[in-house]
């Protein structure tokens, strides 16, 4: 299997990381704003409902609409004098503390890191908007088209809320990470409806639910908490669409197609994991005297690294892939070796996917 971004890989001990160091190359990636996407538009003349569960999801979406301007209290202040997230939630703040820096510096580092994370989520939201627009074209059932169209409106609202939060409250929108840009382009340019759904709705929506959920749990700011709570409710519907649609797709797929989907999902997630926050550390590390490569090597050596690293993956995306039969003996041990799959006894294997439909 060919790994993504082969030319950016290097070994840190047993682990292969993806690292971008050439600033002009990163600038070029960001400047590449046109992406050619193969897209076969599909007409359907069946206007009645054919997939009841999707129609139900569309109905849920209609009653759960909200207004990012009116339904959030934008008068609540957000400042880098406060812990916007609990201190443990910020990798940079923890490192600053270990380096003996004062609390004001730790708070500033946490504030920057939050801005960076939310900025990457914002770019991901834009990809979701674009891809969901594609789904309204490529999907073959009217229920899928209606549902996708409703999600396009959800994603526009997420872009509105998060970009306003960043510009009004944090003051900066960080540019997209090079690794993320390449992976999102890969998803947006996928050549079949099945890959588009798997990539965006199952992989990226699954990751987004995990990240948003962890952020909300750690948030100490009521505006941030409420914004994430509302976005998450929508995202849960989106991830549910991915699971429902993929469940139908895997029922119809033969062994070769199943292997192809499993490999593709693994390839994307493996590359995401291989970056190990290096893109973020290269952007923000120097400001706080932190060397990205040194820190990442130290992190990879921690005894509980896999347990921590797997949190995001084990939240939604891997349990969903497992339920779909897209983690088999072909990839399971690799996910485990890469610190992504980690069974923690009690909440071990499954997040029951339908509980996602809030």
Q: By CB under 5 A, how many residues form the interface with Fe ion?
A: 6
Q: Should residue 196 be labelled a site residue for Fe ion when binding is judged by CB under 5 A?
A: no
CA distances from 91 to 33, 352, 357 (A): 31, 30, 31
Nearer to Fe ion, 328 or 355 (CB): 355
- Give the binding range for Fe ion (CB under 5 A) out of 59-67, 97-105, 157-165, 265-273: 157-165
**Chain centroid, CA 123 distance in Å:** 10
Nearest distance from C-beta of residue 150 to Fe ion, angstroms: 11
| Contact flag: residue 128 with Fe ion (CB under 5 A) | yes
Q: 15-18 and 9-12: which strand pairing?
A: antiparallel
Stretch touching Fe ion by CB under 5 A, among 141-149, 184-192, 230-238, 264-272? 230-238
Of the candidates 19, 113, 125, 213, which one interacts with Fe ion according to CB under 5 A?
A: 125
8, 145, 158, 237: residue in contact with Fe ion (rule CB under 5 A): 158
238 binding Fe ion? (CB under 5 A): yes
Other Cβ atoms closer than 10 A to 305: 15
Cβ neighbours for 287, distance < 8 A, ≥ 6 positions apart: 109, 112
Least distance (Å) between residue 215 CB and Fe ion = 13
Least distance from Fe ion to the Cβ atom of residue 171, Å:
22
| Contact status, residue 339 vs residue 322, Cβ threshold 8 Å | no
- Rule CB under 5 A: say whether 232 interacts with Fe ion: no
Residue 45, number of CB atoms within 10 A of its CB: 5
Q: Which is nearer to Fe ion, 195 or 238 (CB)?
A: 238
Shortest distance (Å) from residue 53 CB to Fe ion: 18
User: Shortest approach of Fe ion to residue 162 CB, angstroms?
Assistant: 9
Q: CB of 320: closest distance to Fe ion in angstroms?
A: 14
Residue closer to Fe ion (CB basis): 111 or 212:
212
Q: Is the dihedral of CA 182, 183, 184, 187 positive or negative?
A: positive
Residue 227 or residue 250: which is nearer to Fe ion going by CB?
227
Minimum distance between the CB of residue 315 and Fe ion, rounded to whole angstroms? 15
Its sign, for the CA torsion 39, 241, 348, 272, is positive
Site string for Fe ion, 84-123 (x = CB under 5 A): ----------------------------------------
213 is a site residue for Fe ion (CB under 5 A): no
DSSP string, 155-203: HHHHHHHHHHIIIIII---PPPPHHHHHHHHHHHT-SSHHHHIIIIIII
Query: Minimal distance in Å, beta carbon 168 to Fe ion?
Result: 19
Stretch that binds Fe ion, among 60-68, 126-134, 260-268, 340-348 (CB under 5 A): 126-134
For Fe ion, the closer of residues 80 and 137 by Cβ is 137
Q: What DSSP line would sit under 265-331, residue for residue?
A: HHHHHHHHHHTTTHHHHHHHGGGGT--HHHHHHHHHT-TTHHHHHHHHIIIIIHHHHHHTT---TTT
Contact 176, 28 (CB under 8 A): no
Pick from 245, 237, 264, 298: which is nearest to 99 by CA?
A: 298
Nearer to Fe ion by Cβ, of 188 and 258: the residue is: 188
Euclidean distance between CA atoms 6 and 18, whole angstroms = 8
Tell the smallest beta-carbon distance from residue 205 to Fe ion (Å): 5
Binding site for Fe ion (CB under 5 A): 125, 128, 155, 158, 235, 238
């Amino acid at each position: 299997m060919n790994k993504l971004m082969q030319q950016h890989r290097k070994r840190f001990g047993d682990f292969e990381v993806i690292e971008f160091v050439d600033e002009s190359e990163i600038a070029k990636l960001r400047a590449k704003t046109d992406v050619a996407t193969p897209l076969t538009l599909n007409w359907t003349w069946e206007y009645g409902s054919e997939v009841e569960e999707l129609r139900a999801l569309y109905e849920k979406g209609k009653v759960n609409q909200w207004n990012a301007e009116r339904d959030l209290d934008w008068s609540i202040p957000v400042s880098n004098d406060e812990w916007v997230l609990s201190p443990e939630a910020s990798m940079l703040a923890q490192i600053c503390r270990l380096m003996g820096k004062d609390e004001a510096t730790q708070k500033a580092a946490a504030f920057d890191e939050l801005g960076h994370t939310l900025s990457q989520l914002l770019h991901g939201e834009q990809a979701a908007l674009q891809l969901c627009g594609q789904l309204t074209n490529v999907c073959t059932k009217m229920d899928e088209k209606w549902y996708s169209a409703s999600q396009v409106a959800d994603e526009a609202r997420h872009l509105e809320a998060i970009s306003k939060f960043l510009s009004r409250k944090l003051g900066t929108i960080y540019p997209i990470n090079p690794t993320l840009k390449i992976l999102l382009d890969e998803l947006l340019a996928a050549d079949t409806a099945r890959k588009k759904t798997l990539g965006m709705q199952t992989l990226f929506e699954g990751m987004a639910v995990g990240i948003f959920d962890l952020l909300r749990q750690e948030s100490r700011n009521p505006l941030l908490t409420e914004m994430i709570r509302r976005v998450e409710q929508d995202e849960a519907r989106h991830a549910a669409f991915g699971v429902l649609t993929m469940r139908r797709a895997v029922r119809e797929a033969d062994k070769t197609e199943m292997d192809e989907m499993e490999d593709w999902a693994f390839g994307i997630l493996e590359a995401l994991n291989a970056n190990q926050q290096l893109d973020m550390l290269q952007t923000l590390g120097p400001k706080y005297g932190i060397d990205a490569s040194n820190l990442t090597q130290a992190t990879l050596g921690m005894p509980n690294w896999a347990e921590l690293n797997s949190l995001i993956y084990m939240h939604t995306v891997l349990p969903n892939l497992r339920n779909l039969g897209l983690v088999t003996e072909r990839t399971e041990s690799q996910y485990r070796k890469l610190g992504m799959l980690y069974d923690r006894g009690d909440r071990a294997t499954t997040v029951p996917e339908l509980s996602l439909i809030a």
